[in-house]
Structure 1
Amino acid sequence: MTTTRRYRLGVMLGDGIGPEIVPASVRVVDAALAAAGADAVDWQELPLGAAAIEEHGSAIPAATMSALAELDGWLLGPHDSAAYPEPFRSQLNPSGAIRKHFDLYANIRPARGFEGGKAIAPDTDLVVVRENTEGFYADRNTYAGTGEFMPSPDVAVAMGIFTRPAVERIARAAFELAQRRRKKVTIVHKANVLQLSSGLFKRVCLEVAEGYPDVEVDDFHIDAMTVHLLRRASSFDVVVAENMFGDILSDMAGELAGSLGIAPSINASDDRCMAQAAHGSAPDIAGKDLANPVAMILSSGMLLDWLGTRHGDERALDAAARVEEGVRAAVRGGVCTRDLGGTASTDEFTAAVVERVTPG
C-alpha cells in the first residue's frame, strides 16, 4: 500500500553560495512534488554557519540541533568553516557536528555523467557508499576529543578505528542499494598492508555479502581501485569503502562524471537523512548569481528518494525521479552555468529545471 505524507524538512543555507543554491533546490523540490501530486513540504529554515556565529555565537546553535531532531530530513548548504574566527575554526565543522550527533553513518555519493556536460568519462554511472563515522578521520571516530594527539612537538598521531557493527551496517546499505541498481558491489580496502583494520572491513563486507546471493561482489586495494576507476569507470555499480578511501574515490568519480559542481550526496542513518552537495562554498562567486546549483538540487532529489523508499511513498519517489530528469534535461538542452560551458545564471538554470519537472 502506497502512503503519502506531508514532510517537514529543514533548510540550512550555510555560507558562500549556499544562500543561492539551497533556495534553488527548494524551488525545484516544490515543483517536483506538485507535479507528482504530492503534498507540499513544510520548510523550516534554521541558522547555521557564519551568520549563526554572528547572531547566536555558534556555527551550529543548540536550537538548530534540537529542531533537526523533529524533522523528516534536512537540506544543508556548503559552509566555509576555514574562514570562521577562532575558536569556531578549530571546532568540528557544522556538517561534521550534525553527522556525528545524529550518527549519519552512510554517505551516499552517486556519480553519473551528463549528456551535454563536460564529463571526462560520460558513461560513468556508479555510487560510492562511504562509511561516515570511523576509519581514519579522527574528528569522527571518538566519543570525546578529536582522535588526534601530539606526544611531542615533532610527533603527531591519529587513530583509525574499525568496528564490526559499523562495517556491517555500511555494507548492508551498499548491498541494499545495489539491489535497486545493477546488482554489483565492489569492496575497497587495503587489507594487504592494514591486515587487522582494513582486513576487518573487507572480511565483514564479504560476510554481509553472503546474505545477498543475487549481488555480484568483487574487491580491490585502494591504490589499484583508483587506476581501475580511471580506466573503466562504467564497469562499476556500487562501491563501498571506509571513510577516507570513500572520500577520495567519490571526489575522483565526481570529476570523471563532470565536476564536483555536479556531485550530489546524502548523509543518512536508518531514520534520518541530510542532503548536502559534495562541493564547497565558493566564496569568490557568492552573491553573483553564477553558482551552479546542480549538485544541491540533485542532493535534494536524493533526499526525496530516501524519504520515498523509507515510507513507501510512490509520489515522493516520482518527485525524486522528476528532479533528476529535470536537471539532466536542462543540461542536455544546453541550459547550464558557466562552469559547464553555458551562460545561464543560477536563477535561469533553476527556472529551466522547474519548467522541465512540471507537466506542460
Structure 2
Amino acid sequence: MTSYRIGILKGDGIGPEIVDAAVSVLDAAAQRAGVLLNAVELPMGWNAIQTYNDPMPQYTKEELKKCQGWLLGPHDSAAYPPGHKEKRNPSGELRHYFDLYANIRPAKTMTGIKSVAGEADLVIFRENTEGFYSDRNMYAGAGEWHITPETAVSAGVFTKKAISRIAHAAFQSAMERRKKVTIVHKANVIKLGFGLFLQTCREVAEQYPEVEVDDYHIDAMTAHLVRRAKDFDVIVTENMFGDILSDLTGELVGSLGLAPSINSNDTQAMAQAAHGSAPDIAGKNIANPIGIMLSAVMLLKWLKTKHNDEQLKEAADLMEKALFETVESGVKTVDLGGTASTSKFAEAIVKRIQDLG
C-alpha cells in the first residue's frame, strides 16, 4: 500500500482552526478508504517568523520537496513586520518556487447553501506564473518600475509555453466533465499579450476536437457569469483575470468562504482555500472550514489521477459526500445561518464518514 506524504502548513489567523478541522476529516476519510497519509506539520507565517525570521523559510520548502502535496492555511502577510511585507507572501512564494502553474478553482452550488447563481457547476483554470502579477512573472526581481516618483510601469508577461500548459490542463479537465471550454481574455485591447493567449488556447483546442470552445472578453464574462453561471463548464484565463473571476464565482454559489482551490505543477499540488485569514475571528472557533476541506478533497482527487490509486478517489468521495450531507442536514457554522462551531462541524462530518457504508 502506497503512503502519501502530505505537508500541513496551518498559517495565520483562523488558519490553525480550519486546517485542524480539515485534517481531522481528511484522516477519517483516508482511514475509512484504506489510504495511508503521512501528515507532516511545517512552519509558515507568523509561526515561522518567530522561529526562522521568514514567513516561508527554506527549511519548509526543502521539506515540501519530499511531499506529494500539502494543505496551506491562509496567511496574514499584511500584518507581517517591515521587511517581510515587501517579499512575496507565503502562497505566492510557494507558487513561484515550485512552479505551481495551474490554479484550479471550482464553483458549485450546494444543497442547503443559498446561492445567488441559482445553479452552477464550473471550474476556473487560472494560469499561475505570469500575466499581470508582477511578484511572480520575472526570473528575478519584480515586473514593476518607478520611472519617476510619480510614474509607475507594471509589466504583463505572456509566453506560449505557460499558456499551452494551462490550456492543456483545462481541456483535459473538460474531457472528464461536460466537454466545454471558455477562454477569457482582453485581446481586443491588449492585442499582443492576450492575442497570444487566445491564439495559443485555440491551437491547443484543435487537439481536443470533442470539446466545444468559445471565448469572451473579461468585462463581458463577468456579466455572463452573474446572469447565467450554470451555462459554463471549464473556464481558462490568465493570472489576474482568474483571481477576479474565481472570487466572483465563489460568491455567486454561496460565499467566498466556501471556495476551494488547488495549485499544481506536474508532480505536486497545494490545497488552499480561496479566502483570507480573518484575524478578527481568529481563536473564536467559529470560522467556516468548508473551503479548506473541499480543497483537501480536490487534492485527493488530483493525487488519484497522478497515482492511479482508486482508494484516493474513495477517500475524496467519502469526504465530499459526508460534508455535503452534513450541511444539508442543517449542521452549519454561524456564517451560514447555523450554530455549530468549527470543531463541532468537523466532528459531525467525521461521524458521518464513520457511519457511511
Q: TM-score, normalised by structure 1?
A: 0.97
The residue type equivalent to 1:36 in the other structure is: A
CA distance in 2, matches of 1:48, 1:299: 18
Q: Secondary structure at the match of 1:192?
A: coil
Of 249, 253, 276, the residue aligned with 1:253 is 249
Verify: 1:296 aligned to 2:292, yes or no.
yes
- Kept after mapping to 2: 8 A contact 1:265/1:278: yes
Match of 2:326 in 1: 330
Match of 1:190 in 2: 186
Verify: 1:64 aligned to 2:85, yes or no.
no
Of 202, 206, 211, the residue aligned with 1:210 is 206
CA distance in 2, matches of 1:95, 1:236: 28
Q: Secondary structure at the match of 1:79?
A: coil
Q: Secondary structure at the match of 2:135?
A: helix
Of 3, 7, 13, the residue aligned with 2:4 is 7
Q: Spell out the pairing of 1:224-243 with structure 2 (5 A cutoff).
A: 224-243=220-239
CA positional deviation for 1:325: 1.5
Unmatched runs of 5 consecutive residues or more in structure 1: none
CA positional deviation for 1:355: 1.9
Match of 1:30 in 2: 27
What CA RMSD, in Å, does the superposition of the two structures yield over aligned residues? Answer: 0.9
CA positional deviation for 1:36: 1.6
- Kept after mapping to 1: 8 A contact 2:5/2:39: yes
CA distance in 1, matches of 2:180, 2:131: 23
Partner deviation per Cα, 1:70-124 (whole Å, 9 max, x = no partner):
1111110000000000100111001100110000000000000111112111311
Q: Spell out the pairing of 1:173-188 with structure 2 (5 A cutoff).
A: 173-188=169-184
Of 142, 150, 154, the residue aligned with 2:150 is 154
CA positional deviation for 1:189: 0.5
The residue type equivalent to 2:254 in the other structure is: G
The residue type equivalent to 1:337 in the other structure is: T
Q: Spell out the pairing of 1:1-360 with structure 2 (5 A cutoff).
A: 4-39=1-36, 41-360=37-356
What is the count of residue pairs matched by the alignment?
356
CA distance in 2, matches of 1:175, 1:358: 36
The residue type equivalent to 2:113 in the other structure is: G
The residue type equivalent to 2:155 in the other structure is: M
CA distance in 2, matches of 1:119, 1:32: 28
CA positional deviation for 1:245: 0.6
Q: Secondary structure at the match of 1:205?
A: helix
CA positional deviation for 1:317: 0.9
CA distance in 2, matches of 1:140, 1:321: 34
Partner deviation per Cα, 1:197-255 (whole Å, 9 max, x = no partner):
00100010010000001111111010110010000000000000000111110000000
The residue type equivalent to 1:93 in the other structure is: N
Q: TM-score, normalised by structure 2?
A: 0.98
- Kept after mapping to 2: 8 A contact 1:114/1:122: no
